């Protein structure tokens, strides 16, 4: 009697698996879609976060029967998130953070803390995965943040990272020095257009003079060669005449 290979063993051997998405997943698909992904991505992210389930025969059948429900729920979500985007777009939220002696933060500002600050503005709550960060935030100041609230629904906010409590003088001095250095690095000297034109004109003049000198030198050399050649020819003719007379 042949024994069937367990589904799990087949999945491990192939290192990929098919899953049914329970939620919309960026760059992967919408809720109800069947996607083929790597094992690690499914086991470490999709399944633990309840974003997908294994695409067994039963789950596929359930997904097909729930397709209309998914569509209705998605439409409602998009409508709610569109309303939220219009309400919070362009607003400023604040996050408190602990600051070290050098003016840097202890750790970095998390997407969860940003989401909590946004949720304080509205009854509609967003997930921390909606917060898109280009790089970790490790300093005080203002940052432009984009929120991906739903598929093709975005909002832009300003995040103000503020210190927890009053800062010692040495920390304030370190922060001021860092800002001054950053400002110096970004300042560009204004262009003196008149001076630039004069410099270019001088370079053109020098280049023209250089070309003239080269032409003159070439002419002198050529003339010298011609004189030398004529002199040599004359000497040879004189020598030949003397031999004939002798």
What residues does each domain of the chain span? 9-65, 86-186
Relative orientation angle of helices 67-88 and 57-65, to the nearest 10 degrees:
60
Q: Look at residues 137, 146, 134 and name the one whose alpha carbon lies nearest to residue 88.
A: 146
How many CB atoms are located within 10 Å of the residue 110 CB?
16
The CATH number of 86-186 is: 3.10.430.100
CA atoms within 13 A on the CB side of 4: 3
* CATH T-level fold of 9-65: Ribosomal Protein L9; domain 1 (3.40.5)
Euclidean distance between CA atoms 223 and 220, whole angstroms: 5
Per-residue model confidence (pLDDT) at position 145: 96
**Are 27 and 33 a contacting pair, CB within 8 Å?**
no
CA 165 to centroid of chain Cα atoms: 34
3-class secondary structure, 160: strand
* Strand order, beta sheet including 52-54: 34-38, 16-21, 52-54
| Under-70 pLDDT residues of the chain | 1-14, 165, 167-172, 174-175, 178-179, 181-200, 203-246
**Are 152 and 109 a contacting pair, CB within 8 Å?**
no
Euclidean distance between CA atoms 41 and 58, whole angstroms: 22
- Strand runs (DSSP E) across the chain, as ranges? 16-21, 34-38, 52-54, 92-97, 131-132, 141-150, 153-163
What is the token pair recorded at 26? 């960026």
CA atoms within 13 A on the CB side of 145: 33
Euclidean distance between CA atoms 246 and 35, whole angstroms: 113
Euclidean distance between CA atoms 23 and 148, whole angstroms: 14
Per-residue model confidence (pLDDT) at position 218: 43
Per-residue model confidence (pLDDT) at position 41: 94
pTM score? 0.52
Per-residue model confidence (pLDDT) at position 185: 56
């Amino acid at each position: 009697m042949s024994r069937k290979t367990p589904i799990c063993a087949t999945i491990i051997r192939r290192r990929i698996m098919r899953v049914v998405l329970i939620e919309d997943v960026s760059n992967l698909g919408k809720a109800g879609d069947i996607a083929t992904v790597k094992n690690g991505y499914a086991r470490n992210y999709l399944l633990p976060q309840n974003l997908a389930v294994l695409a067994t025969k039963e789950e596929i059948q359930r997904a097909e029967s729930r397709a209309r429900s998914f569509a209705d729920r998605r439409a409602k979500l998009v409508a709610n998130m569109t309303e939220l985007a219009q309400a919070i777009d362009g607003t400023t939220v604040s996050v408190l953070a602990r600051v070290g002696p050098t003016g840097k933060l202890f750790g970095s500002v998390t997407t969860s803390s940003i989401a909590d600050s946004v949720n304080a503005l509205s009854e509609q709550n967003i997930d921390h995965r909606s917060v898109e960060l280009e790089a970790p935030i490790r300093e005080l100041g203002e940052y432009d943040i984009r929120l991906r609230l739903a598929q093709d629904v975005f909002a832009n906010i300003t995040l103000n990272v503020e210190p927890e409590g009053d800062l010692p003088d040495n920390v304030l001095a370190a922060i001021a020095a860092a800002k001054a250095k950053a400002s110096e690095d970004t300042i560009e000297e204004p262009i003196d257009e008149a001076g630039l034109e004069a410099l270019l004109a001088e370079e053109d003049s020098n280049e023209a003079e250089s070309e003239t000198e080269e032409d003159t030198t070439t002419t002198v050399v050529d003339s010298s060669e011609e004189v030398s050649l004529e002199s040599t020819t004359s000497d040879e003719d004189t020598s030949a005449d003397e031999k004939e007379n002798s």
